[in-house]
Structures are given as structure tokens and as C-alpha cells.
């Protein structure tokens, strides 16, 4: 199931005891259509307020589904800030999280006051040094252990990730976007990287200092996490052999 959502109203992707989640909304809609409880597993867990221009999730069905009709019915049931774009049948052992080969995030900043984009951009009052930030971002390619950019006390077995792309590019006069792609991401990793890159861009941290933070493997050494409302999960890729042929 390929979908997108505006995360503003949600306490993240994962079901929470004290708030509405995207996962819960999808499970309720599927339960209504399939007339049974349905577990939905996502490719990852976005934090509270974080958006997805493309998220992938899987669920099990005990009968063949008309993918186009099912997509239409889901969209009629789901709230307006969640949209299903496509359904594809996969092998019975396929897994949205474990079979993903890469994920990509976008983080947007603006140096201007933009009333209509305030929920989707991080406002900076002074333009940082993007050349220095890109120089620091390129050092991410040299490492695999990103403990310094991980939320503490998570349940993962390893903090190793392979970053294959990390770059700031300018979209218009006032807007810049940070694109980062890796095989996997740790909890809070992108926001911690962006927040630490802000310190490089403001001249408070050198490129070598950024490198030392990674090598220290200590979250307390890195910068404050950037706000979640400007972060979008933008892509998730899979090997083609997990999909059933039409």
C-alpha cells in the first residue's frame, strides 16, 4: 500500500495509547472494509508531526482484492489528510519494513516568512552557510555507526546505516531542501543530523567538529533535533521480485 499523509494532526505513524496515529487510522478503515481486525505494518515510524509524501505499508488479506476498487474505498473512509495512491499484491512473505532497500527523506527550510507553508517549513531568520553544511554532510558517507544521531534507549539491535546521498539544494529564492537517502534510518536520525548541520551553517561547529561528533558515538555531543513539521518521508524502494505479477 503506497500512501501519503500530512502528519500535523497525528502523534506519528505508530499506534499510541494517548493520541491518534496514522497506523491506527489505516487499520480502522481496513477493518471496516474487510470486516475483521487488520494489522498494518509500515516501512518505518515517522515521529509526531512528521509528514510522508510517500510511505509504504503492508497488510494481509485472506482473499484476492480488486486493487483499484479497494484504493477508492479506502480513500472514501480515510480522513482528508491521509491518501492511498496504489495497492500492489506481494509475495506472502514480503515485509514493508524489512524488505525495503532504501529510504529517502526531505527536510525543508525557508529564510522568509511564509504564512501558507508555515506547517511544512522550518523558518531560519538568517541564511546559514550551505556550502559548509554540504561539506559536513558529505562526511556522512565515511561512516556507518550513527549512534550520535539516534534517539536514546531504542529497541534496535544496531545503529549502523549506510548513507548514499546527503545534500542541501536550493528550490527557490527563500527555500532550501536537505535530501538524505540511506538503507535504513535510526529514530530521530534525520532531525538530529539537520539540527547539527544548522550549527555548522551558523559557524558554531566546524566540519571537522561535525566529523568528531559522529566518531564519539554520543547523542549528547550532537546538536538539538530540528523541528519535525518540516520533515517528509519521500521515498521507499524495494526489489521488484517481492511483487506479484498482474
Residue 58's SS3 state is: strand
Instruction: Give the three cell numbers for residue 24.
Output: 491506527
Under 8 Å between Cβ of 156 and 182: no
Under 8 Å between Cβ of 84 and 71: yes
Sign of torsion, CA 91 93 94 96?
A: positive
**Residues 164-195 as b or e (16 or more Cβ within 10 Å = b):** eebebeeeeebbbbbbbbbebbbbbbbbbbbb
Torsion of CA 236, 76, 10, 106, to 10 degrees: 30
Residue 191's SS3 state is: helix
Catalytic annotation, pick one of 6, 37, 47, 99 = 47
Q: Any catalytic annotation for residue 81? A: no
At which residue does the C-alpha cell 521507499 appear? 236
Rounded to the nearest 10 degrees, what angle do helices 22-34 and 67-77 cross at? 120
- Catalytic residue numbers read 47
Amino acid at each position: 500500500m503506497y500512501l501519503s499523509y500530512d502528519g500535523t494532526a497525528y502523534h506519528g505513524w505508530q499506534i499510541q495509547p494517548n493520541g491518534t496515529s496514522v497506523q491506527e487510522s489505516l487499520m480502522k478503515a481496513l477493518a471496516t472494509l474487510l470486516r475483521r481486525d487488520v494489522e498494518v505494518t509500515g516501512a518505518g515510524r515517522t515521529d509526531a508531526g512528521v509528514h510522508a509524501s510517500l510511505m509504504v505499508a503492508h497488510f494481509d488479506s485472506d482473499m484476492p482484492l480488486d486493487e483499484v476498487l479497494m484504493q477508492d474505498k479506502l480513500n472514501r473512509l480515510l480522513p482528508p489528510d491521509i491518501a492511498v495512491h496504489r495497492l500492489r499484491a506481494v509475495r506472502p512473505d514480503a515485509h514493508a519494513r524489512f524488505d525495503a532497500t532504501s529510504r529517502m527523506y526531505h527536510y525543508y527550510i525557508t529564510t522568509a516568512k511564509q504564512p501558507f507553508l508555515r506547517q511544512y517549513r522550518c523558518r531560519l531568520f538568517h541564511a546559514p552557510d550551505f556550502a559548509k553544511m554540504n561539506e559536513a554532510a558529505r562526511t556522512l558517507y565515511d561512516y556507518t555507526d550513527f549512534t550520535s544521531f539516534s534517539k536514546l534507549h531504542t529497541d534496535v539491535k544496531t545503529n549502523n546505516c549506510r548513507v548514499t546521498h546527503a545534500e542541501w539544494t536550493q528550490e527557490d529564492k527563500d527555500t532550501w531542501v536537505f535530501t538524505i537517502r540511506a538503507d535504513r534510518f535510526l529514530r530521530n536520525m534525520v532531525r538530529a543530523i539537520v539540527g547539527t548541520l544548522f550549527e555548522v551553517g551558523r559557524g558554531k561547529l566546524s566540519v571537522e567538529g561535525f566529523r568528531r561528533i559522529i566518531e564519539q558515538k554520543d547523542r549528547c555531543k550532537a546538536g538539538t533535533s530540528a523541528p519535525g513539521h518540516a520533515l517528509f518521508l519521500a521515498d521507499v524502494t524495494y526489489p521488484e521480485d517481492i511483487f506479484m505479477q498482474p
